[in-house]
Copies of this chain bind each other. A is one copy, B any other.
Amino acid sequence: MTTTAPVAVVLLHYPVYDRNRRTVASAITNLDLHDIARAVRTFGLSRYYVVTPAVEQQRLAGQIIGHWRHGYGATYNPKRKAALDLVMVKCTLDDVVHDVETEYGALPRLVATGAAAAATITYSGFREQLGASTTPHLLLFGTGWGLADEVMATADVILPPVRGTGEYNHLSVRSAVAIILDRLFGVEDY
| Interface residues in chain A, defined as those with a beta carbon under 8 Å from any beta carbon in chain B | 2, 19, 31, 34-35, 38-39, 41-44, 77, 79, 82-83, 122-124, 160, 162-166, 168-172, 174-179, 181-183, 185-190
Contact = CB atoms under 8 A, between A and B. Distances in A.
Nearest to A77: B19
Nearest to A184: B164
Contact of A165 (B35, B44, B176): B44
Given A178-B178, A179-B178, A182-B182, A187 B171 contact: no
Nearest to A32: B31
A135 B84 CA distance: 42
Contact of A38 (B175, B177, B178, B185): B175
A41 B178 contact: no
B178 A160 contact: no
Given A42-B163, A123-B189, A188-B124, A82 B168 contact: yes
Contacts of A188: 122-124, 160, 183
B175 A124 contact: no
A188 to B, nearest CB: 5
Contacts of A83: 168, 170
A171 B178 contact: yes
A95 B164 CA distance: 28
Given A31-B174, A38-B170, A42-B164, 7 more contacts: A35-B172, A35-B174, A42-B168, A83-B170, A162-B186, A163-B187, A174-B178
